[in-house]
Amino acid sequence: MTVKAARLIAAAPVVAYHSARHGRSIARSIAAGHLHAGQIEEALVYPVTTEETGDYRGVIEEHYDAWAARLAAHLDAGRDVVVLCEGDPFFYGSYMHMHKRLAHRYPSEVVPGVTSVAGASAVLGRPLVERDEVLTVLPGTLPADELAARLEATDSAAVMKLGRTFAAVRDALDRSGRLSEAWYVERATTSRQRILPLADVDPPTVPYFSLALVPSRLHAAPQVSDVADAPVASGTCGDVVVVGLGPAGRDWLTPEALAAVEAADDLVGYGPYLDRVPANPRQRRHASDNRVEAERAEFALALARSGRRVAVVSSGDPGVFAMAAAVLEVAAEPRWKDVPVRVLPGLTAAQAVASRVGAPLGHDFCVLSLSDRLKPWDVIARRLTAAAQADLVIAIYNPGSRSRTWQVAEARDLLLAHRSPDTPVVLGRDVGGPGERVRVVRLAGLDPAEVDMRTLLIVGSSQTRVLERDGEPPVVWTPRRYPGSE
């Protein structure tokens, strides 16, 4: 919040805020550090209703009238009132309904705040608009046809009021051809914020306090030409270190990787991964889309050659389907031969998922990606078949996404040709993150609908065992000794 807002909140005899019937208020939680004993708090509790009920507008208008009367009683008694509103009071804010009822009767001042759109753009690390681009702010409650038409016609967009409208908003983004550009941001700037490509979001998990963002098209990736203004260390070359952040959160980051990130002058990476690194005013951050690995690598190398110490951040381990190979592939070109490149390992998603159930990777295993974006499906199918025939445990990355919906079922059927239907399969989603979900199923019962881009699969071998426990998650392990060994 602004300094002025904090000062007014601390000085107010009366503080009012909207809340649900459970009594919790997001606005109050933001201002809690500035409240003190002796202040009168007025909780303006919303009725239990939705816009889908019969007379929603009539019911809510009656409550606004009653709340205005409560606040007017304080004002008539000479007590100043501060009304808290998350975001900006006049940007889809509930306060505007009090303003209409009270501002013509009492001296009023509105203190602007940071909108959710601005907060979402900041945590995403992507500009909303550049140069002559047009930004359109839309409510998700618009009719689907109108929403799709407006999304198609604008450069950048923010869609508010998600929650129950999310499925319709996603469909409108798809119909307008903007789905691949769209980002989902939930509870931006708070400790509970969540950032995902919108196409990968599970609709039932979407709360009202979230939005869809289609950022500037002019900021797809950093360009090597941008490095021209970077300060150059006299007569020296910097370096590039490719850092694995682990699957989620600081607890999964090694001390070596943390030290490298903190020592860097510049951080380069996919926006959501950069968001996991605490801000450091000394550092420059260069966020880009997830599909521009080569451009990102070239940009990092150019920064290093200008004398900067550069950390390219990657989720999990950078050497496992991540940025290390992309950086090294570009660095092998003759023009970058003078730029030092190091790779620091990180905890892999396979290790994280395995740890949640026990030790399914306790014997020989292989790691394989189902994504056919960089290799043909027939190669994937041959490798799956070979791994199954060799009786290896298989850790499967990138099993499915919104645009790749058939690969999981095809992989399951290929494996069933060589594995028992009862082979255990571990499904680990967002391990270490707020949406963590881990299940153990039979291979024959593997449902592709449960699998998305944030899920990792571990398919057991013929020797993998499962121990069921009453009231506890099952334990899965693969014995170190294979039949026939001495």
Provide φ and ψ at 415, rounded to 5°: -70, -35
In the predicted model, what is the mean pLDDT of residues 219-244? 66
Over residues 339-357, the pLDDT tens digits come to 999 999 999 999 999 999 9
pLDDT value for 223:
59
In the predicted model, what is the mean pLDDT of residues 475-479? 95
Are 42 and 16 spatial neighbours (Cβ–Cβ below 8 Å)? yes
Are 332 and 299 spatial neighbours (Cβ–Cβ below 8 Å)? no
The Cα–Cα gap between 486 and 482 comes to 9
pLDDT higher at 15 or 230: 15
Residue whose tokens read 């990138």: 398
Label residues 219-257 b or e (16+ Cβ within 10 Å = b).
Answer: bebbeeeebeebeeeeeeebbbbbbbbbbbeeebbbeeb
Q: What is the DSSP string of 368-405?
A: EE---SSS-HHHHHHHHHHHHHTT-EEEEES---SS--
pLDDT value for 226:
57
In the predicted model, what is the mean pLDDT of residues 420-437? 90
Over residues 58-77, the pLDDT tens digits come to 788 898 999 999 999 999 99
Q: Specify the range with the lowest mean pLDDT, choosing from 46-60, 211-225, 297-311.
A: 46-60
Confidence band (pLDDT; 50, 70, 90) for 56? Answer: low
Tokens standing for residue 303: 């920064």
Structural domains of the chain in order of their starting residue, each with its CATH number: 3-102 (3.40.1010.10), 116-214 (3.30.950.10), 225-344 (3.40.1010.10), 350-477 (3.30.950.10)
Confidence band (pLDDT; 50, 70, 90) for 281? Answer: confident
The Cα–Cα gap between 32 and 17 comes to 12
pLDDT value for 51:
47
Provide φ and ψ at 27, rounded to 5°: -60, -45
Over residues 2-27, the pLDDT tens digits come to 999 999 999 999 999 998 777 788 89
Whether the predicted pLDDT of 291 surpasses 80: no
Q: What is the DSSP string of 80-132?
A: -EEE--SS-TTSS-THHHHHHHHTTTS---------HHHHHHHHHT--S--TT
Confidence band (pLDDT; 50, 70, 90) for 236? Answer: low
Among candidate residues 60, 58, 26, the one with its CA nearest the CA of residue 43: 26
Give me the amino acid identity at 140. G
Over residues 432-464, the pLDDT tens digits come to 887 889 999 999 999 998 888 889 999 999 999
Over residues 171-200, the pLDDT tens digits come to 999 999 888 788 899 988 887 888 888 888
pLDDT value for 195:
84
In the predicted model, what is the mean pLDDT of residues 247-258? 87
